[in-house]
Amino acid sequence: MLSTDNDILSAAESWRRDGRTVALATVIETWGSAPRPVGSHLVVDGDGNFLGSVSGGCVEGAVITEGLDAIADGRPRVVEFGVADETAWRVGLSCGGRIRVFVEPVT
């Protein structure tokens, strides 16, 4: 079962309150088929613990890495992922399409 947006945002707030470094990733745009809708969130802490989902497959791991980078350098970023339908399954995605994700350190 996926966590709700409230669970994810509450976790981000709680983790920060506990002194953990945190980044929040949010799906800001999709084209074609995408596993998670605009507004979906994933929160990651400086140790790589995470909650939520912005896509699945290899994209999730890449977004976690971007979150760790945002924590390290303190800068937000927009990342885009896309794959053709015919190659989606080979790279671990459930469908084709593209997504844009905003990743920001939470201060």
pLDDT digits (tens, 9 = 90+) for 22-49: 999 999 999 887 888 999 999 999 999 9
In the predicted model, is pLDDT for residue 88 greater than 80?
no
Domain span at 48 = 5-106
Q: Given this model, what pLDDT does residue 25 score?
A: 98
Six-digit token pair at 9? 């945002």
pTM of the model: 0.85
Q: Given this model, what pLDDT does residue 55 score?
A: 87
Q: How many domains does the chain have?
A: 1
Q: Calculate the CA dihedral of residues 81, 85, 86, 89 and round it to 10 degrees.
A: 70
The Cα–Cα gap between 76 and 57 comes to 23
pLDDT bracket for residue 8 (50, 70, 90): very high
